[in-house]
Structure 1
Amino acid sequence: MGNRALIMIEGHRRIGLLFIQAAQRLGLHPITLSADPARYPYLAAESLENVHVDTDSLDALIHECSRLSKTYEIAGITAAEEEVYATVGKLCEHFDLPGPNAASVERCCDKFAQRQLLAEAGIPIPIYRLAANETEVKSFAAEIGLPVIVKPAVGTGSSGVRLCRNLDALAEHTTYLLGGKHKWTSLPRILVEEFARGPFYSVDTMEKEIIGVCTADFDRPPHFVFSRCTYPAPLTDDEYKCITEVSLNCLRALGLGWGPTTIELRWTIGGPVVVEVNPRLAGGTNPRLIKLAYGVDLITELIKLVTGNECDLRKKQSQTAGSRHLVPERDGILDWIDGHSRAAAVPGVDQVGCYVKAKTPIARNFDYLDSIGHVIAASPSPALTEATLQHAVELISWSITPFSTLDEQELRSAGSHPPASVDASTR
């Protein structure tokens, strides 16, 4: 038998390379199966083994894994992308490997089904309705009362999610979702939800254990593009207890608990209200922040879990870790971006990442891919971490030349800026 292999179903534009590196540290040979390996530039840059395969086809994936098993001992199968996580569960079941429960993941990924299960369990959630057309969206918004959140019933990364404060915004966004501009991964179904007002928190769990709670803010509403994140969230003991109890109740209601889960909440005047449950690790900077704040490497521990080993979730340190995301203020051509080296040299800065290069077209879709970079810092003090991040971000600047109207239309029809590997400066 050859090397022990970790099979990744699709990669991830932000944290995919971290999975690869963690697997290699554990002595595993990572192999990525993808419908389009070019989406993940780190595969070519690091000369990593990858296989072109239709990841929407379970039969094709079973066939490919069976073929690979003749050369490698398949130690585990996993993914970083939510869209294929239920498929991972089915593959793990087929090959008798540890993995998530596919049925639970599928129910959770359908936000309407998720809402129904949470409501049946008595978990506080926003008032919601499921709409199939413009008339129903308008009717349900009137029933719930503006402002409302309007979003696809299936989707990730805040794609297609908008806060609609008035009828004009409601009509505009409904037209966007149903008029052919939004890329649907399933039949078009729209959730219309009450807007839960209050501070935003996100809870990271692994194996039914609370790992951390962060607080986060968004860039330029009415969209929900993360601008900052901080671990641990500044909570009283009672608030922490309440949030963690609600989070664990979510796992029970949704049949989750194997592996990682991320629960998003708002703290309203009535207490915590669950906004969304994601049956996977949080992407972006969160895994790095958790490692800095608590000394727990969730990606490594997840790979241990999928390969049948015990994971170590003991917290080994206590720091305040935070990130700031660099979000462009307009569409256009990125003329230049500068200051990363100076920002990385600031004491307390752990990492500065840049996702795009000069002369790249920037066409915002108002989701997680809008960010063009990040800064991460950590220290024993919340105030010091905040000051460090502020200083570092102020050292980074860029210039964007707006598109002409014709150019903008052409670029938007072609999609937003292409994915780029993270060119990160790490202290």
Structure 2
Amino acid sequence: MTAPDTLVLIEGGRLQPFGFDPFQISKDLGLRTILVTGDTTEYLKSAVSRESVEKNVDRVIEADISDAASVVASLRDEHAAGRLLGVFSITEYCVVVVAEVAHALGLPGLSPAAGRDARQKQRTRQICSTADVPVPNFAWVQSADQARKAAEELGSPCVVKPPSEAGGIGVKLCSSPDEAGLHYDIIAAAPTDRRGNPRPMGALVEEYVVGYQVSVEVVHFRGAHHVIGVTDELYGPHPHFVAVGETYPSLLPEKTQRECADVAVKALRAIGHNFGVAHVEVKVTAKGPLLIEVNARLPGAQITRLIHEAHGIHLPREVIRIHAGLTPDLNTHRDQAAAARYLTSPAAGVLTGVRGLPLAEELPGVAEVALYLAPGDRIQAAENIRDVLGYVIALGETAGEAARRADAAALEIGFDVASPEVSTLHG
């Protein structure tokens, strides 16, 4: 029997280029890499994903990634050969299957129960509320009538969200009970989530609390939760909840950051989180910090990049080390700050031009300006993370300096958008 040398990656992040970083990280760590995917053709749709797979992945296996038994069966020969070190995924939608596969194969991993409780927003709320973790008032509803009644009891406006999406998909601030009922019907009309997995019936209706939001990045290793840091999060205008920026480390007073971290760790303990990384969202309100969501995965968007730029911690690499049974380096190696601002369009249509990119790039401290789309592509007014057009990353000696530089750069960039009809007429 050969010595274990193989890391299994279940899907990659298809939305943005950083979603393929685990492929490169695994190779850089000297590991043999297997990609298990529900659809191989997804990785042929762009040059970035195709090249990443071809350069860094040793074997691609197609299986039903919504079913742990199917994934385990697809790895039977590798497991029998004693080659498997661990299993990992960068995406929220694979948290549960990764935990279940690791458990079935005797590999390092999160408790499957904790994975399920983190993925199902209503379960997180129920468990944390019982454990005296401060949360907004909420109701779990399974019909439009129940959504309307819950909105009447909680007060308007209220937030209505699907049970198992990510990136703000399907989350809406509803101004009245009738709007809450209508939005419930929209959620219920989609039987699967964005990745095609069956979606539980129902929706979470919760009290809308006024405040500012942060995320707490936490790693569980060798029996303890280690707080990596607190990230300031910025969101666009209602009724949607679109992330438009982050600053790391947080600008908040140390006392407030400690309070937010305490809420995050208490929530993780309540759901039994016992392995790997978590991205916990907390809102600072007049009542104090309140738990918004627990995500048993790496933070998305550019947060891991900001942590690396600011403190020298390569969080994706170190978390992959943990999943491979290796020892991570979670120490701070530098004392700087970084900020990201995400570029969105106020209108839907066809992108005809981009203004100000050279000006943004000239600003001091700007590390990168990137666009996901090009003139001629159709774009949407931003409703969730899928509608982000690009980003700016800026560095600074302090979080305030990094944030000001990122804001200034983002303000230099503008988009020219034509309606689809106009674009068609002008050929």
TM over 0.5: yes
Structure 1 match to 2:134: 124
Is 1:87 matched up with 2:97?
Answer: yes
- The superposition leaves residues 186-241 of structure 1 with CA deviations (integer Å, 9 ceiling, x where unpaired) of 23201110011111111000111100101111112110110111111122232122
1:69 to 1:364, Cα distance in 2 relative to 1, 3 A: farther
Is 1:153 matched up with 2:163?
Answer: yes
Structure 1 match to 2:213: 200
Q: After TM superposition, give the deviation of residue 339 of structure 1 in Å.
A: 4.7
What is the aligned counterpart of 1:274 among 287, 291, 295?
291
Q: After TM superposition, give the deviation of residue 348 of structure 1 in Å.
A: 1.4
CA separation in 1, counterparts of 2:355 and 2:276?
39
| 166-175 vs 276-285, which moves further | 166-175
1:66-105, aligned counterparts within 5 Å?
Answer: 66-68=76-78, 73-105=83-115
CA separation in 2, counterparts of 1:159 and 1:149?
13
- Following TM superposition, the consecutive aligned residue runs of length 4 or more in structure 1 with deviations greater than 6 angstroms are none
Q: After TM superposition, give the deviation of residue 30 of structure 1 in Å.
A: 2.8
CA separation in 2, counterparts of 1:187 and 1:276?
17
Is 1:191 matched up with 2:204?
Answer: yes
What SS does the aligned partner of 2:243 have?
strand
Structure 2 match to 1:45: 51
What SS does the aligned partner of 2:331 have?
coil
The answer as to whether partners of 2:89 and 2:98 remain within 8 angstroms in 1 is yes
1:103 counterpart letter in structure 2 = A
The answer as to whether partners of 1:5 and 1:72 remain within 8 angstroms in 2 is no
- The superposition leaves residues 348-404 of structure 1 with CA deviations (integer Å, 9 ceiling, x where unpaired) of 122222222322222457221110111111111234323321332234332221234
The alignment-based identity, stated in percent, is 26
| 392-401 vs 106-115, which moves further | 392-401
Structure 2 match to 1:242: 259
CA separation in 2, counterparts of 1:39 and 1:348?
36
Structure 1 match to 2:311: 294
What SS does the aligned partner of 1:308 have?
coil
Is 1:25 matched up with 2:31?
Answer: no
1:381 to 1:214, Cα distance in 2 relative to 1, 3 A: same
The answer as to whether partners of 2:351 and 2:379 remain within 8 angstroms in 1 is yes
| 87-96 vs 70-79, which moves further | 70-79
CA separation in 1, counterparts of 2:182 and 2:209?
22
What SS does the aligned partner of 1:199 have?
strand
1:301 to 1:132, Cα distance in 2 relative to 1, 3 A: same
What is the aligned counterpart of 2:300 among 283, 303, 315?
283
Q: Which structure 2 residue ranges, 5 or more long, are not aligned?
A: none
1:196 counterpart letter in structure 2 = V
CA separation in 1, counterparts of 2:34 and 2:316?
16
The answer as to whether partners of 1:159 and 1:365 remain within 8 angstroms in 2 is no
Structure 2 match to 1:354: 371
TM-score, length-scaled by structure 1? 0.88
CA separation in 2, counterparts of 1:345 and 1:39?
36
The answer as to whether partners of 2:160 and 2:171 remain within 8 angstroms in 1 is yes
What SS does the aligned partner of 1:201 have?
strand
What SS does the aligned partner of 1:281 have?
coil
Q: Which structure 1 residue ranges, 5 or more long, are not aligned?
A: 408-427
The answer as to whether partners of 1:231 and 1:322 remain within 8 angstroms in 2 is yes
The answer as to whether partners of 1:219 and 1:327 remain within 8 angstroms in 2 is no
Structure 1 match to 2:244: 227
The answer as to whether partners of 1:100 and 1:258 remain within 8 angstroms in 2 is yes
CA separation in 2, counterparts of 1:165 and 1:248?
32
Structure 1 match to 2:392: 375
- The superposition leaves residues 63-84 of structure 1 with CA deviations (integer Å, 9 ceiling, x where unpaired) of 2222345789333210011221
Structure 2 match to 1:258: 275
CA separation in 2, counterparts of 1:129 and 1:61?
34
CA separation in 2, counterparts of 1:397 and 1:52?
41
1:12 counterpart letter in structure 2 = G
Q: After TM superposition, give the deviation of residue 62 of structure 1 in Å.
A: 1.4
Figure out how many residues of one structure are paired with residues of the other and give that number: 406
| 98-107 vs 346-355, which moves further | 346-355
Structure 2 match to 1:140: 150
What SS does the aligned partner of 1:323 have?
strand
CA separation in 2, counterparts of 1:334 and 1:67?
48
1:395 to 1:67, Cα distance in 2 relative to 1, 3 A: farther
- The superposition leaves residues 28-59 of structure 1 with CA deviations (integer Å, 9 ceiling, x where unpaired) of 23332111234343331232433322212323
What SS does the aligned partner of 2:75 have?
helix
TM-score, length-scaled by structure 2? 0.88
1:322 to 1:137, Cα distance in 2 relative to 1, 3 A: same
What SS does the aligned partner of 2:77 have?
helix
Structure 2 match to 1:412: none
- The superposition leaves residues 163-187 of structure 1 with CA deviations (integer Å, 9 ceiling, x where unpaired) of 1123454344234223459858323
Q: After TM superposition, give the deviation of residue 328 of structure 1 in Å.
A: 1.6
What SS does the aligned partner of 1:351 have?
strand
2:205 counterpart letter in structure 1 = V
CA separation in 1, counterparts of 2:290 and 2:72?
40
The answer as to whether partners of 2:212 and 2:285 remain within 8 angstroms in 1 is yes
The answer as to whether partners of 1:9 and 1:33 remain within 8 angstroms in 2 is yes
